[in-house]
C-alpha cells in the first residue's frame, strides 16, 4: 500500500509504503518504509523497514471485520430536491466494543469506497493511514495499481533500502503521523498545483471572512452517526427570536436508551432553549401508528440555544474550498467551504468542529471530533440531506413534554412534565 500525503497549508509532501511480511515462524508482520521522493520524482532513497502493527487490508477485509449494513442515504445533497450521491453505509464494530465502530461508505452506482469515518482515535482495525484519521473522504477509487507503485514495491523487495537504526514510530494513530511529519526523515516541498492534481478544484487558503450563519428560522433533515450500529434519521427545527421563546428541537429517530441496541421504533429528542436542554424519549406504538412519550431522560448539561452566527462566535476558519468537483456532488458553479472551529473542554481536551457549507449558505455536513476522549459525546456526524434557510417555522412546529425549570437557589436543571405538551410529528 503506497501512500502520499500533502500538507495543504504549508505545502510539504511525504511518501510511505506499507507491506506485510513474515518472521522466521511465518507469523504475519507489518512493516513500513519512508520514501525520499517528490510529487514528480525522482526517487532518491527508501528508508526502512520499520515495525508496525498495521495490516494492509485484503480483499475480504470488510467480511473479516464483521461489517454490518447500516442504511442507505445520499451524501452531498446540494439542492432542496435531496439529490446527492446515493450511498450504502456499513459499520465495522471496533474490536471489543458493543456499541460503535468504523463507518465505511460506498457509492451505490459503482460500489466504490467513498468515505471512512472513525469513532476511535486508536485505529482499532489497524488500517494504514486511512484508519488513522477521524474522517477520510475518497472522491476517486479504482482497483488499478499505478506503475509507480509497482516499481516502488519491486525496488523494496530487491533490498534497495537503507536502514535507519534508532528510529521508531508505529504510524498507527493520527498522533503518530503528526509526530512523523513534525520530525521527518524526509520531506519535500509541493505546490498548490500538485495538490489540485489529486483533488481538482481544491484551494487551501485560510479565511475568517465569509462564514455561513443560520437564518432565524432554519429547517434541516439528515442522518446522524453516533455511538450505535445504525444511523439516526434526524430533523432539526430552529427558531431564533433573541428572546426567551427561541428554541431548537432535534428529533433523532433510531436513538434509543441502550447504546448499540437502538432501532427505528425508538426516538429521542433534544430540545434547547435559552434556559437549557431536555431530552424526551418516545417509542412507536404500532397499534396507534404514533409516537408515545416513554419518559423524560436525565437532561444533559444546559448548553442553551446557539446563536445564528455561532460559527463566527466560535472563531471558525474557512480552511479551504472545493469548486466544481462532481465527486463532491458539485455543479461547475458550486463551491464548498471547509470550515474548522475549536472548543477547549479543559484538562487538555480539545474539540474540533468541521463543517461543510456551500457558499450560498446551504449546510452539507457537521461533525465534532476529539482526539482525547473521542466518545465523550454521542452525536458525532450529521450529513444534511435537506437544509432550508428562512423556513416557514412557527412556535406550533415545536413540541416538548419535558419542560424545564431552573431552581434559583440550586441552579440545576429540573424536569417538569406537568407543563409540557406533545404534538404528533408527521
What torsion, rounded to 10 degrees, do the Cα atoms 194, 200, 202, 203 define?
A: 60
What is the distance between the alpha carbons of residues 103 and 7, in angstroms, rounded to a whole number? 25
Is residue 178 predicted with pLDDT exceeding 90? yes
Name the average pLDDT for the chain: 89
Is residue 176 predicted with pLDDT exceeding 60? yes
Place 330 in a pLDDT band, splitting at 50, 70 and 90: very high
Evaluate whether 293 touches 282 at the Cβ level (below 8 Å): yes
Report pLDDT digits (tens) over 47-82: 999 999 999 998 899 999 999 999 999 999 987 777
What is the distance between the alpha carbons of residues 271 and 264, in angstroms, rounded to a whole number? 20
Please report the sign of the dihedral spanned by the C-alpha atoms of residue 404, residue 408, residue 413, residue 418. Answer: negative
Is residue 423 predicted with pLDDT exceeding 90? no
Phi first, then psi: give them for residue 125, nearest 5 degrees: -90, 0
Report pLDDT digits (tens) over 2-53: 999 999 999 999 999 999 876 655 667 899 999 999 998 899 999 999 999 9
Is residue 419 predicted with pLDDT exceeding 50? no
What is the distance between the alpha carbons of residues 217 and 248, in angstroms, rounded to a whole number? 10
Q: What residues contact residue 131 under an 8 Å CB cut-off, 6+ apart? A: 54, 102, 116, 118, 123, 125
Q: Which letter does DSSP use for residue 394 in this model?
A: -
Q: Region 147-176: what's the mean pLDDT? A: 93
Determine if residue 256 is left, alpha or beta; phi over 0 gives left, psi from -120 to 50 gives alpha, anything else beta: beta
Percent of the chain with pLDDT over 90: 75
Long-range contact set of residues 361-369: C-beta below 8 Å, sequence gap at least 24 = 361/212, 361/213, 361/215, 361/389, 362/78, 362/79, 362/387, 362/389, 363/212, 363/220, 363/387, 364/76, 364/77, 364/78, 364/336, 367/117, 367/134, 367/135, 369/134, 369/135
Is residue 217 predicted with pLDDT exceeding 70? yes
Residue 27: predicted pLDDT: 66
Report pLDDT digits (tens) over 274-327: 888 899 999 999 999 999 999 999 876 667 899 999 999 989 999 999 999 999
Q: What residues contact residue 244 under an 8 Å CB cut-off, 6+ apart? A: 273, 274, 275
What is the distance between the alpha carbons of residues 205 and 11, in angstroms, rounded to a whole number? 11
What is the distance between the alpha carbons of residues 20 and 58, in angstroms, rounded to a whole number? 11
User: Which residue from 295, 276, 283 is spatially nearest to 253, judged by alpha carbons?
Assistant: 283
Report pLDDT digits (tens) over 101-127: 999 999 999 999 999 999 999 999 999
Q: Is residue 222 packed enough to be buried (19+ CB in 10 Å), middle (13-18) or exposed (0-12)?
A: buried
User: Which residue from 170, 78, 62, 169 is spatially nearest to 116, judged by alpha carbons?
Assistant: 62
What is the distance between the alpha carbons of residues 278 and 280, in angstroms, rounded to a whole number? 7
Evaluate whether 321 touches 297 at the Cβ level (below 8 Å): no
- Bridge partner residues of 346 (DSSP): 349
What is the distance between the alpha carbons of residues 140 and 216, in angstroms, rounded to a whole number? 37
Evaluate whether 36 touches 186 at the Cβ level (below 8 Å): yes
Amino acid at each position: 500500500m503506497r501512500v502520499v500525503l500533502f500538507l495543504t497549508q504549508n505545502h510539504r509532501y511525504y511518501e510511505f509504503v506499507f507491506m506485510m511480511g513474515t518472521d522466521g515462524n511465518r507469523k504475519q508482520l507489518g512493516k513500513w518504509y519512508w520514501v525520499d521522493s517528490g510529487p514528480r520524482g525522482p526517487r532518491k532513497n527508501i528508508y526502512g523497514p520499520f515495525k508496525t502493527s498495521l495490516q494492509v487490508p485484503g480483499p475480504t477485509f470488510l467480511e473479516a471485520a464483521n461489517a454490518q449494513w447500516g442504511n442507505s442515504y445520499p451524501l452531498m445533497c446540494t439542492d432542496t430536491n435531496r439529490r446527492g450521491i446515493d450511498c450504502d453505509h456499513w459499520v465495522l464494530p471496533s474490536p471489543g466494543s458493543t456499541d460503535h465502530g468504523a463507518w465505511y461508505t460506498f457509492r451505490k452506482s459503482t460500489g466504490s469506497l467513498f468515505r471512512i469515518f472513525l469513532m476511535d482515535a486508536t485505529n482499532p482495525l489497524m488500517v494504514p493511514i486511512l484508519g488513522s484519521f477521524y474522517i477520510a473522504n475518497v472522491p476517486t477509487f479504482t482497483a488499478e495499481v499505478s506503475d509507480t507503485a509497482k516499481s516502488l514495491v519491486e525496488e523494496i523487495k530487491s533490498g534497495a533500502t537503507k536502514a535507519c537504526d534508532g528510529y521508531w514510530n508505529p504510524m498507527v494513530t493520527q498522533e503518530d503521523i503528526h509526530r512523523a511529519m513534525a520530525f521527518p526523515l524526509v520531506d519535500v516541498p509541493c505546490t498548490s498545483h500538485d495538490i489540485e492534481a489529486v483533488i481538482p478544484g481544491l484551494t487551501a487558503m485560510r479565511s475568517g471572512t465569509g462564514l455561513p450563519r443560520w437564518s432565524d428560522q432554519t429547517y434541516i433533515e439528515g442522518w446522524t452517526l453516533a455511538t450505535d450500529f445504525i444511523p439516526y434519521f434526524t430533523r432539526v427545527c430552529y427558531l431564533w427570536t433573541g428572546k426567551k421563546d427561541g428554541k431548537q428541537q432535534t428529533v433523532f429517530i433510531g436513538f434509543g436508551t441502550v447504546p448499540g441496541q437502538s432501532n427505528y421504533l425508538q426516538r429521542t429528542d433534544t430540545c434547547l432553549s435559552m434556559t437549557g436542554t431536555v431530552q424526551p424519549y418516545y417509542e412507536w406504538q404500532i397499534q396507534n401508528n404514533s409516537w408515545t412519550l416513554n419518559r423524560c431522560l436525565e437532561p444533559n448539561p444546559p448548553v442553551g440555544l446557539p446563536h445564528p452566527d455561532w460559527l463566527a462566535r466560535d472563531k471558525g476558519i474557512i480552511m479551504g474550498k472545493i469548486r466544481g468537483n462532481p465527486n463532491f456532488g458539485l455543479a461547475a458553479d458550486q463551491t464548498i467551504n471547509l470550515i474548522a472551529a475549536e472548543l477547549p473542554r479543559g484538562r487538555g481536551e480539545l474539540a474540533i468542529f468541521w463543517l461543510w457549507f456551500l457558499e450560498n449558505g446551504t449546510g452539507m455536513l457537521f461533525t465534532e471530533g476529539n482526539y482525547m476522549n473521542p466518545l465523550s459525546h454521542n452525536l458525532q456526524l450529521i450529513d444534511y440531506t435537506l437544509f432550508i434557510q428562512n423556513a416557514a417555522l412557527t412556535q406550533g412546529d415545536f413540541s416538548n413534554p419535558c419542560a424545564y425549570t431552573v431552581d434559583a437557589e440550586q441552579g440545576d436543571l429540573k424536569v417538569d412534565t406537568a407543563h409540557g405538551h406533545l404534538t404528533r410529528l408527521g
